[in-house]
A and B are shown apart, each in its own frame.
Chain A
Amino acid sequence: MQNFIIKFYKVCLSFSLLVYSFTLVSCAKPNYQDSPDIQKQSQLKQTQNCSIRFQKQTDLCIQMQWTQLQNPDQMGRFNFYIYQINDPKTPLDIKQSITIKLSMPSMTHDSRPVIITKLADLHFDANKIWFSMSGLWQIHFLIDSNDEAKDEAIVEYTY
């Protein structure tokens, strides 16, 4: 029994030394990349023809533009408005408040609700946007419309 333990320990020790040697030469390989320019992403969204649609009411479109990028002194902020693609000037009958949540799919994190203020008909200000770490985030726009279940539009951002 003791011989077995000694042999087992020798094997473990050899394996550990092998792995240790391996790890010494297998240093981490940093793949640093600058984060994308959110302002440019935002402008790109403005120039495209309805890149953000709701999942159920596919004729509903969102346009958004960042007014304040997140920095240590300020939370992020953006304006957005919702319109019908075929009839942009007709106000929509959105009964209840619009809500926005931020989520980080890779970490399964959710954030607290974003503060939304109505600026004009279907034109809103979204404030207190905070991404707690770098990575791919989703901005979920949720509306209650015509007594149906919540409809959702999702925008992806890499912070």
Chain B
Amino acid sequence: MNILISLFLIIASPICVYASACCGGGLSLPSLIAGDQKAQIALGYSQINPDTDVLASGVWQKHKGSEYTRQLKLEGAKILSDPWQMGLGLGLEQRNISGDAGGTSSGLGDSNISLAYENLPEWDYNPYKPKGQLFLNLVIPTGRSIYDDPSQNSLDSHGRGFWSISLGQYLSKIIFNWDTFALLEVHHSFERSFQSTLSNYDLKPGNGLSWGFGAGYNIQNWRIGSSFIWNYEDPIESSQNSSASLQRWASLQTSLAYLLENDQTLSLSYSNQLLFGSPLNTTLNQIVTFNYQKRWMR
């Protein structure tokens, strides 16, 4: 039974992109092998619907107009040599704004490459001790950002626009039919210059933080789970602008997964950013994700 749950634990890990704010981008967490596999690959399809804009003053306003973003994300992870593993994530994004002033734009999203080290191995049957993985994740700004977007309505922006490196700790534990995880991650986004016909200045995005936890209950080939991720980003400062505001938001995700075979899983999840926390200076989304995962056992 524990083997079955450990297979499910993989999909409990935070492989999703937690989109935020306008015009592409968002937090990206690495794909991690948390079970007894030597490799895994996952294909995720998400539809992101912006619901509410939260201003820097804390005022909430229903998002004006009708738009959505669709993301196709391919993620893989492979054990290099115990206790090391590496991961890779690539994304395609399509943005649509309805109406004559809108349109559709598709492009590459941001990519990420990660390295993880199992710093708390689970080699015995200790009832309390979790399995722990320390990870380093590099986000590569392969998606065009709003700063580089030539379109009049910012439709062609699909990435955040900054190189970013993160260090995090992921803990997981199976207790009877339950699987649980906790996560803490800090990241730094690197300064870059921005040039347009009207402006030329440096952008300093600063640091960010995310933490979360989740649990799932497993019945035969089914798993139902829930997770909570809280996010914070420093203001993006520039020499031209002294009024930048921090961003924060929280995501609550519920998911239903089905184990097709021992090496394949299908899952459907729904994420809502309107329910918890004290969001600021962001767009709150509702996200539906369909995920297929294939694993190779050791």
Contact = CB atoms under 8 A, between A and B. Distances in A.
Contacts of A6: 126, 128-129
> Which of A101, A107, A136 has the most chain B CB atoms closer than 10 A to its own CB?
A107
Contacts of A107: 21-22, 236, 244-245, 281
Contacts of B104: none
A16 B213 contact: yes
A28 B280 CA distance: 11
A23 B21 CA distance: 22
Nearest to A129: B152
Interface in B255-298: 274-279, 281, 283
Interface in A38-86: 70-75
A113 B275 contact: no
B98 interface: yes
Interface string A130-159: 101111100010100000000000000011
A16 B281 contact: no
Nearest to B243: A105
B65 A72 contact: yes
Interface of B: 21-23, 52-53, 55-66, 97-102, 120, 126, 128-130, 146-147, 149-154, 171, 173, 182, 194, 196-199, 203, 213, 228, 235-238, 241, 243-245, 250, 274-279, 281, 283
Q: Which 6 A-B pairs have the closest CB atoms?
A: A72-B99, A134-B53, A106-B56, A105-B243, A106-B245, A133-B22
Interface of A: 2, 5-6, 9-10, 12-13, 16, 19-20, 23, 26-35, 70-75, 99, 101, 103, 105-113, 128, 130, 132-136, 140, 142, 158-159
Given A103-B241, A106-B281, A134-B53, 9 more contacts: A6-B129, A106-B56, A107-B22, A107-B244, A109-B23, A110-B199, A113-B197, A130-B153, A132-B22
